[in-house]
Amino acid sequence: MNSELLEKDRKYLWHPYTQMKDYEKDYPVLIERAEGIHLYDHKGNVYYDTISSWWSNVHGHNHPHVQSAIKRQLEELDHVLFAGFTHKNAILLGEHLVRVSPRNLTKVFYSDNGSTACEVALKMSFQFWKNTGQGEKEKFIGLENGYHGDTIGAMSVGGVSVFQETFAPLLFSTFKIPSPYCYRCPCGKERENCAIECINPLEELLEKKNKEIAGIILEPLMQGSGGFIIYPVEYLKKVAELARMYNIHLIVDEVATGFGRTGKMFAVEHADVEPDFMCLSKGITNGSLPLSATLTTDEVYEAFYADYTENKTFYHGHTYTANPLSTAAGVASLELFKKENTLEKVSGTIATLHQNMQKFRDLDIVGDLRYIGMVAALELVKDKFTKEPIPFEKRIGFKVYKKGLKQGLLLRPLGNIIYLFLPLCVKEDELMDIIERTYSVIAAL
């Protein structure tokens, strides 16, 4: 039966971010069940889910509290449109999100994935300036190596060329500023003695163009798909200060960094920053069902609140906006943070992760080790001293992925970047086992 299923996979399916020719003589791993931080395939193999199933699993797979909430909701209401209708879980989740978010964020707009959460923020920002008589503010700033999703607007403000270059003719024009990439500093500095000079291009741009700029979007403290670039808190603080000074919106994409990944509920808390928009998805439902949310301020909300004839309505929506099953999972996931003291418990695990990753620095192939919260990344290089990258055609990441499977690890590298993006529920003995197995994979290279 399983062999027949896999043949049908090959015949009918097209997987994301996958060169399907790689599976001409092989098959994707057929996962039959999951529990905690483990995945179980059809052959009885067990894998550590070291990347939280694309960064979405927080409390462990099939957590009984989340599962029971979904089951209860399924008996009452599976789906209803959210235009002119509402339901309990959407309301309760909105209340939960506002309570745990920066205090200026008071309104919640639901959609269904990280890309749309960012699209919503961009469109709200754009229309805000139109609604308030400042229609010349139409441009957005994004960061090199930034990633905000694969829809057209999200790609337009992104900065990962390999994801965008094919679609360049479809994208709208944006400003791009250098990434605060400490290992490959755009200013040629060393972090130990820099003064965050990488902020200067943003300040210069805003001095000249602020009247035409609507906002800046960035991933706070960690650029995920751009290579797990972890940057200083001071940079984020300076961006926020400049946004306020030059009257542009600060949009933070917390799709990957939200819900405890950095050790705090949201990454902006490390810098005590209050953004104008915060985009959430992935961990919002513990990875069980699709859902996203864009949070914003009373000021933004009031700019759309008008008589219908003024045509200030926000014309945006999705069929599955605020789906009852998804929002039930979201409520349950947020309840678990309090019920299980998740953030308090994980602080010790974070220290263990950071301390035990240090030994990777001694490997010749490891150019840089960077980490924040329950995320750790290794940048593999051809030459440790010159920082020369490993050539694309060597496909080192795919080799790591294959070796990882043999070691019972789900590792899905980003090119030459090998990373751990661990569920917050990982136990210390599991963590040590994961680190040891990962070390053996990298050392063997």
- CB within 8 A of 274, min separation 6: which ones? 102, 103, 104, 105, 240, 268
DSSP category for residue 252? E
What does the alpha-carbon distance between residue 17 and residue 6 come to, in Å, rounded to a whole number? 19
Residues β-bridged to residue 110:
293
Residue whose structure tokens are 């979007």:
217
Q: Are 348 and 235 in contact (CB under 8 A)?
A: no
Task: Give the model confidence (pLDDT) of 319-354 as tens digits.
Answer: 999 999 999 999 999 999 999 999 999 999 999 999
Task: Give the model confidence (pLDDT) of 25-71 as tens digits.
Answer: 999 999 999 999 999 999 999 999 999 999 999 999 999 999 999 99
What does the alpha-carbon distance between residue 420 and residue 60 come to, in Å, rounded to a whole number? 15
Domain 2-59+341-443: give its CATH architecture.
Alpha-Beta Complex (3.90)
Task: Give the model confidence (pLDDT) of 114-147 as tens digits.
Answer: 999 999 999 999 999 999 999 999 999 999 999 9
pLDDT at residue 1 above 90? no
- Residue in 345, 336, 368, 357 with CA at minimum distance from that of residue 431: 357
Fold matches, 2-59+341-443 and 67-339 = no
**What is the reported pLDDT for 161?**
86
Percent of the chain with pLDDT over 70: 100
Domain 67-339 has CATH 3.40.640.10: yes
What does the alpha-carbon distance between residue 203 and residue 188 come to, in Å, rounded to a whole number? 18
What does the alpha-carbon distance between residue 199 and residue 3 come to, in Å, rounded to a whole number? 54
The structural domains of the chain, with segments of one domain joined by +, span: 2-59+341-443, 67-339
Backbone angles phi, psi at 10, to 5 degrees: -60, -35
Q: Of these residues, 107, 137, 238, 282, which one is catalytic?
A: 282
Q: Are 155 and 176 in contact (CB under 8 A)?
A: no
Q: Exposed, middle or buried, 15 (CB in 10 Å: 0-12/13-18/19+)? A: exposed
Strand pairing of 139-143 and 175-177?
A: parallel
- Give the pLDDT band of residue 183 (cuts 50, 70, 90): very high
Q: Are 105 and 98 in contact (CB under 8 A)?
A: yes
39-68 per-residue burial string, b: 16 or more CB within 10 A, e: under 16: bebbeeeebbbbbbbebbbbbbbebeebee
What does the alpha-carbon distance between residue 413 and residue 345 come to, in Å, rounded to a whole number? 28
- Give the pLDDT band of residue 73 (cuts 50, 70, 90): very high
Q: Is 147 a catalytic residue?
A: yes
Q: Is 282 a catalytic residue?
A: yes
What does the alpha-carbon distance between residue 422 and residue 49 come to, in Å, rounded to a whole number? 7
**Between the CA atoms of 434, 439, 441 and 443, what dihedral angle is there, to the nearest 10 degrees?**
180
Q: Of these residues, 47, 48, 110, 147, which one is catalytic?
A: 147
Q: Of these residues, 253, 368, 403, 419, which one is catalytic?
A: 253
| Cβ neighbours around 114 below 10 Å, total | 28
Q: Of these residues, 8, 17, 272, 364, which one is catalytic?
A: 17
Q: What is the pTM of this model?
A: 0.97
What does the alpha-carbon distance between residue 228 and residue 81 come to, in Å, rounded to a whole number? 37
